Chain A
């Protein structure tokens, strides 16, 4: 049924209210408006109604456009607007009929996330003398109640960077290598350098020489290197194997014993080696296990579950490494994998509520980070590689920090410095003078 309404009726209806806008009003059904004008029409209401009508005609026009009808021509002819299609009909009507004099009042509001109710587990690395270790400080990761740096909940701990040290000289990008030429043959000196000179929060000693295909260094000898590093620095440390699934359990067992009581991070337990031995080595010597999987959220759940249920690793002794792929080489998978893991944890999946670690050094595998120039002849110049490498590592790490990663394993001192600064800026602990950006357009840069 069609009901006729006159504007004056509407005005009467609303005359006792102070109307600024017809919010939430929709006009449905067949509409016949009898606009006679004048007659005590409240200007604000007339404007608001005009707005509503204009919107309806806009929507109708859009639908007409979808249907392929030359709407713009019609409007421009009907309203006598010169060149076809150049002007927005609705805009023109609104602008000519009622020039708005005041900004509409508005209050911006947004809800906090309601389904992040499950905090991420806190995990502490390193032990001081009061806890049976010899580290000067400990580092606690995790504890988040929201995505990183979000306003929904305070982030309890900042991000930390552990810098790579190897137990033998290895091949690396020139820009990286030049920082370590003097310490390459001495892991203890190397460790000292990254802590003292490059401000590393932690040190990772990678026992890669234990790989039977490299030097086959014995687990016992490798454990001595761990002792040397523990002597050389007093920050918490990470102990990494060679990645050889047959040899790693033995190497990490011996290393765990040598570092007993220091609460190191053992890297790593994975589904393709005897993770039970790694888990036991951690439990027996008071360490933390790095649970490493390859870009697969379900594999990560499975391994975490096995570590907890089958191996009895306490919840406060697991950190995850869901794998880092470099910028341009699968970072999209790595990013979304981490973001999914973190969101699942926050929303209640207790098999995924652990802090995360990233092998950010992987960024150096990208050719953009180290090659002198592009192998693709059609590419624009790539410019100096000494600037390309560090930013590749920074952006790889930064992306993952936004996906929920807590700890970064890194290599280049400049990358470490910038990544620490930006993550701590987002965390909220970096003070800076306020920059007046109100007229940035005119800035001389």
Chain B
């Protein structure tokens, strides 16, 4: 965006502190506009006629440097691009990289639908939610428009995930679009040979389109300017993903250059960027090497500015790290690192229920909590104040000590002797070395739980209730 202080946005607001946006003051709302946690349209008074000029002006000032492009329709539609910064700690990165996995039009029908279902259904629980894949890319290998259209049709019948239609033949793209025209798919791709026809199709159907210019940023920019002049800014840029050696380094450089130019104000090139880690499969013969290398390339371009990408491997050992690195990079760094230090009840604990201790590092706490809750273990769980540091590091760094544990339990008004039948504390396995100290400090019995809370159910079965001494 063109402004970076709340004061600059405030000038355009009504200044009445009416509170309709949910903020106490217009200045507070201005701050939320600058950190992009509220939208201009949340200020309903601004929509009145008398503010229309200011609304227009502020809207332009607040627009993200990199354009946002929507692919797909309905709940599963993805928005890509929209970034304002080159480093996540300067604000946050918006719109997580959309992950597409390929199918192709020469696949037998049953294999195609099975693969689409796998892509659609893959999920991984993480901090209260599921990590999932986003899109299906349909590749035309047959060069036959009809075959391609049939494959696209089959995919649409199987899933409502957004699509990428992949062919360099305009007739093939048109055939696919005829089937998918209500789905707002992303076209892939226009290049320097077919651009006129692809532009006609993209504009006619009003769908987003990818511009492909391998390792030639002049032509890429030229394509983007030409498409914009023809009337569409729903563009995605693919500077080519070369899978190995110095060509891969060049690809890396191209991504850096495009995004830097875009964020620094070159509107002609400020569009979402596509990476195609799938090209790893063109250099590696065995599936494990190819999946590994593909995941490595996907990770590089998730971190450095890829907004949408096409992959091939759907092996869990490829998907899990891909999903997690995306979450890593797109997690809002402004969100708190820690949870409130306190006693938390999991399920419906009673006097016989175990008392467990962990840290108030948000990730640790939510992991332990979800492991306990999903296994239906009723218990008391203490988040001890470790300044938001995880168990192992907090034991090493002195933020998790016997005294801190004692204080944490006492502060919540809980008395182990009176409030439990067992007077026992279960420490995390990674805090085993504190056992003696905690016993001395609290006068309670201390048991050592597993090093990973995922193993608590098995541990409980074996060790709980504790045997009388």
Q: Which residues of A contact B390 (CB under 8 A)?
A: 325, 329-330
- Minimum CB–CB distance from A422 to chain B (whole Å) comes to 5
| Interchain CB contact (< 8 A) of B222 among A103, A332, A367, A399 | A103
Contact of B321 among A149, A327, A378, A441 (CB under 8 A): A327
| B residues less than 8 Å from A381 (CB atoms) | 316
In the assembled complex, B344 has its CB within 8 A of some CB on chain A: no
A329-B390, A379-B123 as given contacts; A108 in contact with B241, CB under 8 Å: no
B146 at the interface (CB under 8 A from A): no
Task: Assess whether B244 is in contact with A108, with CB atoms less than 8 Å apart.
Answer: no
Whether B17 sits at the interface, judged by CB under 8 Å, is no
Q: Is the CB of B248 within 8 A of A425?
A: yes
- A123 sits at the interface (CB 8 A): no
Please give the distance in Å from B260's CB to the nearest CB on chain A: 5
- A424-445 vs B, CB cutoff 8 Å, 1 = contact: the mask equals 0111101111110111111111
Q: Which residues of B contact A103 (CB under 8 A)?
A: 192, 195, 219, 222-223, 226
Evaluate whether A110 and B260 lie within 8 angstroms (CB atoms) in the complex, with A439-B168, A441-B166 already known.
yes
Max count, chain B CB within 10 A of own CB: residue among A94, A377, A381 = A94
User: Interface with B: A4-12, A85-93, A301-309, which one?
Assistant: A85-93
Verify A100–B59 contact, CB threshold 8 A.
no
A296 to chain B, nearest CB (A): 9
The stretch of B294-302, B410-418, B438-446 that contacts the partner chain = B294-302
Q: Is B288 an interface residue (CB 8 A)?
A: yes
A384:B257 contact, CB within 8 angstroms: no
Closest to B395 in A: A243
**Which stretch in B4-12, B22-30, B263-271, B461-469 binds the other chain?**
B263-271
| A210 CB to nearest chain B CB (Å) | 14
8 Å CB contact of A398 from B52, B205, B300: B300
Interface of A is mostly: loop
Q: A111, B264: Cβ atoms under 8 Å?
A: yes
B121 in contact (CB, < 8 A): yes
Q: What's the minimum C-beta distance from A75 to chain B, rounded to whole angstroms?
A: 11
Q: Which residue of A lies closest to B142 (CB)?
A: A442
| Residues of the A chain whose Cβ atoms lie less than 8 Å from the Cβ of B143 | 442
Instruction: Kindly provide the distance from the CB of B463 to the nearest chain A CB, expressed in whole angstroms.
Output: 17
In the complex formed, the residue of A with least CB distance to B322 is A395
Binds B, one of A160-168, A254-262, A312-320, A335-343: A335-343
Residues of chain B with a CB closer than 8 A to A272's CB: 397-398
Given contacts A91-B230, A445-B278, contact A333 B337 (CB under 8 A): yes
B260–A388 touching, CB < 8 Å: no
Q: Say if the beta carbon of A376 comes within 8 Å of chain B.
A: yes
Interface of chain B residues 360 through 392 with chain A (CB within 8 A): 361, 363-364, 367, 370-371, 374-375, 389-390, 392
Interface residues on A, range: 35 or more
B40 touches A442 (CB 8 A): no
Task: Say which residue of A108, A150, A377, A399 sits within 8 Å of B374 (CB atoms).
Answer: A377
Q: With a CB–CB cut-off of 8 A, which chain A residues contact B329?
A: 332, 335
B315 located at the interface, meaning its Cβ lies under 8 Å from any Cβ of chain A in the complex: yes
The docked-state distance in angstroms from the alpha carbon of A177 to that of B67 is 49
Q: Quick check: is B328 within 8 A (CB to CB) of the other chain?
A: yes
A59 contact set on B, CB distance < 8 A? 60
Asked if B245 and A431 make an inter-chain contact with CB atoms under 8 angstroms apart, the answer reads yes
**Closest A residue by C-beta to B207:** A88
Contact, CB under 8 Å: B168 / A441: yes
- B282 near A104 with CB under 8 A, answer no
Among B222, B253, B303, point to the contact of A151 (Cβ < 8 A): B253
Measured CB to CB, the closest approach of chain B to A243, in angstroms, equals 5
List the one stretch of B72-80, B154-162, B347-355, B452-460 in contact with chain A.
B452-460
Cα–Cα distance between A100 and B281 once the two chains are bound (Å): 37
- B256 near A150 with CB under 8 A, answer yes
A440 to B204, CA, bound (A): 26
| A109 interface hit (Cβ, 8 Å) | yes
Measured between beta carbons, the chain B residues less than 8 angstroms from A434 are 242, 245, 247
Are A92 and B231 within 8 A (Cβ)?
yes
Question: Are A330 and B363 interface neighbours, CB within 8 A?
Answer: yes
Residues from chain A with a CB closer than 8 A to the CB of B31 are: none
> Could you say which of A62-70, A191-199, A279-287 contacts chain B?
A62-70
- Identify which of A87, A101, A402 contacts B206 (C-beta below 8 A): A87
Partner of B229, one of A21, A270, A336, A422: A21
Contacts A106-B219, A365-B392, A437-B243 given; 11 further ones with Cβ under 8 A? Answer: A91-B203, A106-B268, A330-B390, A331-B325, A339-B87, A391-B321, A398-B296, A428-B246, A435-B247, A437-B282, A440-B278
Q: Top 7 closest A-B pairs, CB basis?
A: A432-B245, A91-B231, A375-B454, A383-B316, A94-B231, A445-B281, A108-B217
Would you give 5 A-B contacts (Cβ < 8 Å), ordered by A? A88-B232, A422-B300, A426-B248, A432-B247, A434-B245
Q: Which residues of A approach B to under 8 Å, CB–CB? A: 21, 51, 54, 59, 63, 66-68, 86-88, 90-95, 99-101, 103-111, 149-151, 213, 243, 245, 270, 272, 294-295, 323, 325, 327-333, 335-336, 339-340, 343, 365, 367-368, 371, 374-384, 387-388, 390-392, 394-395, 398-399, 402, 418, 422, 425-428, 430-435, 437-445
